């Protein structure tokens, strides 16, 4: 008889404990639920900002006749031509961009039958800074890339390049600038020397750590072909339509390539004495190989690209000395390169879509 109240008190205490445990469980659940709401909200905002970038970058082909090739903004006016290096924006500290950009779409339709106008291209790339500069606004780009284009009298090609490449490079989430290095005068063309000039001039403006060297008439057909640098020098234009979408030979390093600052300096930059068409890219390959580097490449599908068909330019005839020069790269590369480069800047124009640097590179 006397055990009954004792049993009741034990039952009472057990019930209290169970209720307390339930309350604790409910509070923990509520805390976790509220925190997961925060995370989901941030994720949705992030997704929306990516969608906005993609929408802004949708291609819109103009069907009307081509307009005169006059970049918006008078050269020299509107944008300061300062040689002073830019500082990083100290205010915003962003997270690093992901290794693979979520904005990429893969294969692209590339064609050159419809004309494009600089005005339209400028309008659909309103997020560029003067001189054709861009950096993602929601994350910190993994590389600072200067894109160097050797150039002379190819304005129609340049328009297609800008039309296709700006949206691609933005989807690739790069911090980049476009530098068109225009050879002044009518002397014989020197592609590799112009590339050296581009390297040097771009570094005067910003602390670039990667350099993409691109012909003006080559357009990638897949935005997964990232215009950045890799642990080995990169050859990007690996499947050109001109060569039946395959490499013409294993050592081919022409068209579009990229190199980090370290890789470029290791080979003393590019040769300055290849005047006219051909051989300079083979010389660059020899330089890389002689320093023990190998070539990194995307696969044949991702590396597909189209070349804008054209006649051979005047003053860019095949260089008959190229075979002899290529045979002696190892002996010449240490005295001919970025360490022996000399040129004169004639004009520097900061247009909306690109920086144009007109240079006197001399003659053979």
Residues that bind ligand BGC (CB under 6 A): 248, 254, 278-279, 281-282, 322
Minimum CB distance to ligand BGC, residue 211 (Å): 19
Q: Is 312 a catalytic residue?
A: yes
The active-site residue out of 205, 281, 283, 336 is 281
Give the C-alpha separation, 360 to 112, whole Å: 31
The CA distance from 275 to 153, in Å, is 17
CA distances for 359 relative to 185, 334, 345, angstroms: 9, 24, 4
Asked about 215 being catalytic, the answer comes back as yes
Q: Is 359 helix (H, G, I), strand (E, B) or coil?
A: strand
* Catalytic residue chosen out of the listed positions 310, 328, 330, 334: 310
Catalytic residue among 201, 280, 282, 283: 280
Is the CB of 131 or the CB of 279 nearer to ligand BGC? Answer: 279
Instruction: Supply the minimum distance, in Å, between the C-beta of residue 345 and ligand BGC.
Output: 27
Min. distance of Cβ 107 from ligand BGC in angstroms?
A: 25
The whole-angstrom separation of Cα 10 and Cα 176 is 73
Judged by CB, which is closer to ligand BGC: 175, or 282? Answer: 282
Annotated catalytic, 217? yes
Which residue matches tokens 């905002």?
Answer: 45
Comparison of 151 and 176: residue with beta carbon closer to ligand BGC: 151
Catalytic residue among 277, 293, 301, 360: 277
Rounded to a whole number of angstroms, the distance between the first and last alpha carbons of the chain is: 119
**Phi, psi angles (nearest 5°) of residue 213:** -110, 115
By beta-carbon proximity to ligand BGC, the closer residue of 203 and 289 is: 289
Report helix, strand or coil for 325: helix
State the nearest-atom distance from the C-beta of 201 to ligand BGC, in Å. Answer: 24
Angle at CA of residue 121, ends 192 and 303, nearest 5°: 50
Task: Report, in Å, the least distance between residue 279 CB and ligand BGC.
Answer: 4
Closer to ligand BGC by Cβ: residue 135 or 297:
297
Q: Which of 124, 128, 147, 146 is nearest to 136 (CA)?
A: 128
- DSSP annotation string for 6-25: HHHHHHHHHHHHHHHHHHHH
Using the minimum distance from each CB to ligand BGC, give the nearer residue, 251 or 340: 251
Residues 6 or more apart in contact with residue 352 via CB below 8 angstroms: 71, 72, 73, 122, 125, 128, 130, 132
Minimum CB–partner distance for residue 258 and ligand BGC (Å): 17
Tell me the residue nearest to ligand BGC as measured from the CB.
Answer: 254
349 is catalytic: no
DSSP 3-state assignment of 136? coil
Minimum CB separation of residue 318 from ligand BGC in Å reads: 8
Spatial CB neighbours of 142, under 8 Å, sequence gap ≥ 6:
96, 97, 99, 173, 228
Catalytic residue among 175, 201, 205, 217: 217
The Cα–Cα gap between 43 and 77 comes to: 42
CA dist 356 and 180 (Å) reads: 5
* Beta strand residue intervals within the chain, DSSP E: 133-134, 144-151, 175-183, 210-214, 218-220, 234-235, 239-240, 256-260, 304-307, 344-350, 355-360
Closer residue to ligand BGC in complex, CB, 123/330: 330
Active site residues: 215, 217, 277, 280-281, 307, 310, 312
């Amino acid at each position: 008889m006397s055990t009954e109240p004792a049993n009741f008190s034990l039952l009472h205490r057990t019930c209290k404990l169970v209720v307390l445990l339930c309350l604790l469980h409910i509070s923990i659940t509520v805390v976790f639920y509220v925190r997961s709401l925060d995370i989901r909200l941030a994720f949705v905002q992030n997704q929306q900002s990516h969608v906005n970038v993609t929408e802004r970058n949708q291609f819109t082909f103009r069907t009307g006749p081509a307009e005169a090739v006059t970049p918006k903004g008078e050269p020299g006016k509107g944008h300061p031509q300062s040689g002073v290096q830019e500082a990083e924006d100290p205010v915003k500290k962003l997270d690093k961009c992901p290794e693979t950009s979520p904005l990429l779409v893969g294969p692209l339709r590339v064609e050159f039958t419809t004309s494009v106008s600089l005005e339209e291209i400028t309008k659909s790339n309103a997020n560029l800074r003067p001189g054709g500069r861009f950096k993602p606004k929601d994350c910190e780009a993994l590389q600072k890339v200067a894109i160097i284009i050797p150039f002379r009298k190819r304005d129609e090609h340049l328009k297609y390049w800008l039309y296709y490449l700006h949206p691609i490079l933005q989807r690739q989430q790069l911090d980049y600038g476009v530098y068109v290095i225009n050879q002044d005068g009518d002397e014989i063309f020197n592609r590799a020397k112009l590339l050296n000039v581009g390297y040097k001039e771009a570094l005067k403006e910003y602390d670039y750590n990667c350099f993409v060297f691109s012909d003006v008439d080559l357009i990638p057909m897949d935005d997964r072909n990232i215009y950045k640098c890799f642990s080995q020098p990169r050859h990007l234009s690996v499947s050109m339509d001109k060569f039946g979408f395959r490499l013409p030979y294993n050592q081919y390093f022409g068209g579009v390539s990229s190199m980090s600052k370290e890789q470029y300096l290791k080979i003393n930059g590019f040769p300055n004495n290849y005047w006219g068409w051909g051989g300079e890219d083979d010389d660059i390959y020899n330089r890389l190989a002689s320093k023990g580097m190998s070539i990194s490449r995307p696969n044949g599908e991702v590396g597909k690209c189209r070349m804008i068909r054209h006649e051979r330019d005047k003053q860019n005839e095949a260089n008959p000395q190229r075979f002899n020069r290529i045979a002696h790269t190892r002996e010449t590369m240490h005295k001919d390169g970025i360490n022996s480069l000399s040129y004169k800047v004639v004009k520097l124009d900061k247009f909306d879509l690109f920086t144009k640097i007109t240079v006197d590179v001399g003659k053979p």
